[in-house]
Structure formats: C-alpha cells, structure tokens
Amino acid sequence: MQIIHSLKFKLLSTSILVLLIGVFIFAQYQVSNRRVQLVQQSQNILQNVIVGLFSEGRMIKDNVRLPARVSFAELNQKGSGLVAVVCEEHSKTLTWRSLSTTGIKQIDTACERINHFLTKRNAELVVFNIDGIESRYGEVDLGNVPLLMQMLRIQRYHQKQKNSYIIVVAQTAQELESQLKDYTKQVYSSSVLIFLFFTLILYITIQWSLSSLTKLTAELHDIKQGERDALSDGYEPELQGLTSTLNQLLHSEREQKFRYQHSMNDLAHSLKTRLAMLKAVSDEQDTKTNDFKQVLNEQVSQMDQIVHYQLRRAVSGRQSISSKPVLLAEEINKLTNTLTKVYRHKSIEFELLDPDRAAFFGQQDDLMEMMGNLLENACKFAISKVRVRCSVDKQQGLFISIEDDGPGVDVTIRDKILQRGVRADSSGGQGIGLAVSNEIINSYRGNIRIFDSELGGAGFALHFPLD
C-alpha cells in the first residue's frame, strides 16, 4: 500500500498511462492514414484501368465490344485479383468479361448483383467525372466478398432506342487488407518499442526530478540522528520555501531548548542566592521580628518575580511556521486602555499612528508581553504623552516605535538597560521587563534600538524582517 501512495508511483503511473494513450492514438492514426493511402492507390489503379478499357472498347450497333486480351496484363491473368466485366444495364446480361474471371463461379450472375447494388445502394458510391463521363467508386460487398469497385456507365442511342452499358472493374480487398495487416503489425511493434523507450526515459526523469526530495528525506533523517543541525542550501526554487521554513522551525526549536536550559539554570542560581540570604537572616539570633518580616517579604517578592521572569523567558519567542497575522492596533488599544487606568494620576495622552494597518506575524502572547513591557516602561517615565507608530515596508518588513516625553535614556546605558537586572532608574524591581521584550524580539530575528524622541524623551524602535 505504501508503494501505491508514494509520489513516485503516482507520477510514474500517470505518465505511463498518458504515454500509453498517446502511443495508441498515434498508432491508430498511422494505420488509418495508411489505409487511406492504400485505398487511394487502388482507386487510381482502377480508374486508369477503366479509362483504358473505355478507350479500347468499340460500339458496334447497340453493343460494346472489347478484345479478349486487353492491354492490362492482370486482366489477362487468371486469379490475379483484378477483374473486369461489361453489363447491359436493362437486360442484366453479361456482354464481356476479362480472362482473369476464369474459374469464378458466380461471374455469370455478376450483372444481376451489380444492378441490384446500383438500385439499392448507389448512394454508397463516390461519384467521379472521367473525361466528362460519370464514374462511381466504392468499397462494396458482393456475395460476402469485399471488393474495391469502379463503375462507368455508357449510354448509346441506336435506332431511337437508348441502351446503357456498365463497365465494371473490381479488385479484391484481400491484398489491401493483407498489406494493411502487415503494416499494422509493424506499427504496433514499433509503438511497443517507442513506449518502452519513453517509459525508461520517464522513469529516469522522475528519479532525477525527485532526487531533491530523496536528499531532503536523508538530511531530515541525519538531523533526527543528530548528525547535522539544518538543511543544506542549493535546493530548487520550488523547494526553497519548504526548506527555509523547516530550517526556521529547527532553529526555533533549538533556541527553545537552549532557552529552557538556560532559564532553569538561572532560576536555580537566583533562588539559591535568595534562600542563602534568608538562611543567613534566620541564623541571626538578634534579628528583630519586623526587620526579619521585611527582609522575608522582600526576598519572597523578588523570588516570585524571578520565577515569573524565567518562565516568561523560557516560553518567549515561540515563532511558528503557521503564525496568523495579529493586527497591532487592536492589541495596542487593549494595552493603552489598561495603562490609562493604572496611570490615571498622570493623565497620559496616547497617540497611535497606524496608516498601513500593520500586522504582527507571530504569537499574540509574545506581542502582548513585548508591547506591554515597552508601553509600561514609557508610561512610567512619561510626563503626559506616549506615541506609538506602526508602518510596513514591503521590502524591509514591520517597523514599530514607542516614544514618550519623559527624561529619556542616557546614551551610555542604552545597551545595558536591555540586559536583565539593569535599570535606568533607582526604583524597585528586577529590571527584567525590557530584557524579556528584547529576547522576544530577538527570537523573531528582529532588533530593538533606543533613540531620542521628538517628544523629548526616549524612543524604542523595533524592526521585524519579512522572513
């Protein structure tokens, strides 16, 4: 069943079927065309014979006279397959016959059958004009004998009486059918060889065409075995989209694995430090109860923030190959509505510029976490205004900027505040919001840059490439 469902089998079987039909149609056309040629040749021969007989004949009174031996050798040879007779149409009597008719038993009744045929099936004959005299040609069956027949009607007036004579030249179709049979064998033998040759060509072509898929399967197997990290380059344009997406997925999976490992290591180290501090405080016998509670609450709060940070860090940047676009305006409006309530004492004015109706191709949770941290940071330092600008460039990708009218960020610490634990001010907290946003941006192969805003404060410029 696997063979039947394989792509190679489907391509090969379909191609062979189309090739078989094409070869059969071609063979039939060749045979049919050959038959037409053979019939045309026979027609020309019979036409020449009947014209020759007409020129050799003499009208004596009311009768057509032809010599016993005529100029066409086949008509003088018994069993040659070519015969000729002259019939009186009204009396249906045989007035002359060629020597080649010797031995034919039914020749005496030939005129009756010819006359009957002309009466009943005359329309089956093709009309020709030979030297101004009407002639008819056709393939007929007289007495179950297939014949190619040419007829010429001659009308003669003698003593005011019209007499009609029919010169008939016939050739058995056996020779034609025999030639056609031999030719048919040759055509179908050649067609079989042509079919086998092109089947081999098709097989080689399909093998060669699917070699890239075989290579892709082998490389995926090597990746599974840990023998390579990514798919190689050099695939055909039709497969580059697939290989690029698979490499992106493998890269994301590898980064996710490292992120979990590093996050758990950092979490263990951070908690170990806080627990050691709690142990040291609890070992001091003279520690006041209130001071102990304050230190305990502070350390527990910090450990809670660390746990949340490491969990967010572990799952950040979950870029998927099937990510649906998330409209930025809708998510940003949700965040600004929430932040308006949190910082209502500042009466912050939010301005959203989104002329392109920009969309983020990634996880909605990542977008909310990233933009939430950046907007909260802007609100914390803003005096009265925060501006968000979104734009899309068909060549370069998505651009987002968040600006405020606060004090701004000193140039010397702009790179440092994107690292975990570093803050631009002395207020409480772990300084992990911008770090989480930075890691999410990097997981989408984007970048973040801090600049001086036109509003007077800090600006954060985000760029996400198309791929």
Q: What is the pLDDT of residue 152?
A: 82
Percent of the chain with pLDDT strictly greater than 70: 75
Residues 398 and 307 in one domain: no
403 falls within a domain: yes
Residues 366 and 452 in one domain: yes
Please write the tens of the pLDDT for every residue from 289-323: 666 666 666 666 666 666 665 666 565 545 554 56
Please write the tens of the pLDDT for every residue from 73-106: 888 888 788 888 888 877 788 888 888 888 777 7
262 falls within a domain: yes
199 falls within a domain: no
Q: What b/e sequence results for 373-399 when a residue is b if at least 16 CB atoms lie within 10 Å of its CB, and e otherwise?
A: bbbebbbbbbeebbbbbbebeeeebbb
Residue 162 β-bridge partners: 157
Using a cut of 0.95, tell me whether the model's pTM lies above it: no
Residues 350 and 436 in one domain: yes
Residues 335 and 450 in one domain: yes
Q: What is the pLDDT of residue 53?
A: 84
Please write the tens of the pLDDT for every residue from 20-70: 999 999 999 999 999 888 888 888 888 888 888 877 877 666 667 788 888
Nearest to 420 by CA among 296, 270, 260: 270
Residues 287 and 349 in one domain: no
285 falls within a domain: yes
Which CATH number does the domain housing residue 120 bear? 3.30.450
Residues 172 and 266 in one domain: no
112 falls within a domain: yes
Containing structural domain, residue 421: 325-464
Which CATH number does the domain housing residue 381 bear? 3.30.565.10
Residues 133 and 245 in one domain: no
For all residues of the chain together, what is the average pLDDT? 80
* Average pLDDT of span 386-414: 92
User: How far is Cα 199 from Cα 37, in angstroms, rounded to an integer?
Assistant: 31
Residues 251 and 374 in one domain: no
User: How far is Cα 390 from Cα 375, in angstroms, rounded to an integer?
Assistant: 14
Residues 265 and 135 in one domain: no
27 falls within a domain: no
Residue 97 β-bridge partners: 85
Res. 452: pLDDT tops 90: yes
Q: What is the pLDDT of residue 100?
A: 84
- Both structure tokens of 130: 């030979």
Helix (H) or strand (E) holding 350: strand 349-353
Please write the tens of the pLDDT for every residue from 435-449: 778 888 988 889 999
Kindly report which listed range (2-6, 225-229, 457-461) carries the lowest average pLDDT score: 2-6
Q: Into how many domains does the chain fold? A: 3
